[in-house]
Amino acid sequence: MFANCSVLIVDDDSFARGIIRHHLVRLGFKNIFEVSDGEQALTTLRSARMQLVIADRYMPVLNGLELFCGMQTDRILKDIPFVMITMEDNRARIDDAAKLGIRHYLAKPFNAEMFDTKVHEVLFQPTSETQVE
């Protein structure tokens, strides 16, 4: 189902990228790209077409919020589905992200079922409400 989808993982923690990659491979994704900060992500997104971006909130150089805002100012990138991942499940922080337009949030630690549900929700059931797992 996802074999032809390209996804970009953006996280400064290589171990976290590996966990996300594992879950994506398990779901059938074959075209998985990884970068360690938002600046590299914007460069990658401008050179390769992606169907999904999964980004950590806190990273050096350009964090996940700044990455999302950068994507929103680019007419080609603004409609790419985006999932914010973070250790933080503070409602105020989630609300702050929602005010910027981030609708999909996944709090670490997450299990396979939570991850699968979020990916399916983002790619198949777009919604205007913030969704937190």
Query: 29 by DSSP, 3-state: which?
Result: coil
The pTM of the full predicted model, rounded to 2 decimals, is 0.90
Amino acid identity of residue 46, one-letter, is R
Q: What is the pLDDT of residue 130?
A: 44
The pLDDT profile of the chain, 133 residues, written as one tens digit per residue, is: 788 999 999 999 999 999 999 999 999 999 999 999 999 999 999 999 999 999 999 999 999 999 999 999 999 999 999 999 988 767 777 778 888 889 899 988 899 999 999 999 999 875 544 445 5
User: Could you give the domains of the chain?
Assistant: 15-52+67-132 (3.40.50.2300)
81 neighbors 54 (Cβ within 8 angstroms): no
pLDDT score for 126: 55
Distance, CA of 71 to CA of 77 (rounded, Å): 5
Phi, psi angles (nearest 5°) of residue 33: -115, 150
